[in-house]
Amino acid sequence: MMVGDCRYRQLVIRKSAPLAIWRVIEMLRPIHSLLEAMSERASSYELNHSIQAMVIPHYEDFFYFLLAAKEDIKRRKRWMESFGQ
């Protein structure tokens, strides 16, 4: 490959990476909805049966970034810093 080809590929990757990240987030959004629904049902089960401890862990708070707007997702450069790594 020529130097120009290598630079062009780097440019294509740099420009398409935000869109690829958006597509992944878009695919994972239904998981957040599912976890939220499970949490609501588990909470109502616990209240109806007077259970003090959690029957099902409530995981919907772990994936809050799935609710971000498309512009915010495409603008973020370093995702691992958001999760303490």
Residues in CB range of 75: below 8 A, 6 or more apart: 18
Write out the two tokens for 38.
């499970």
The predicted structure's pLDDT at residue 46: 85
Task: Please tell me the pTM assigned to this model.
Answer: 0.62
Count how many domains the chain has.
Answer: 1
The predicted structure's pLDDT at residue 32: 85
Q: Which domain holds residue 57?
A: 3-83
What pLDDT digit, counting tens, does each position of 10-64 carry? 888 888 888 888 898 899 888 888 888 888 888 888 889 888 887 777 776 777 7
More confident call, 1 vs 11: 11
pLDDT class of 77 with cuts at 50, 70, 90:
low
Whole-number CA gyration radius for the chain: 20
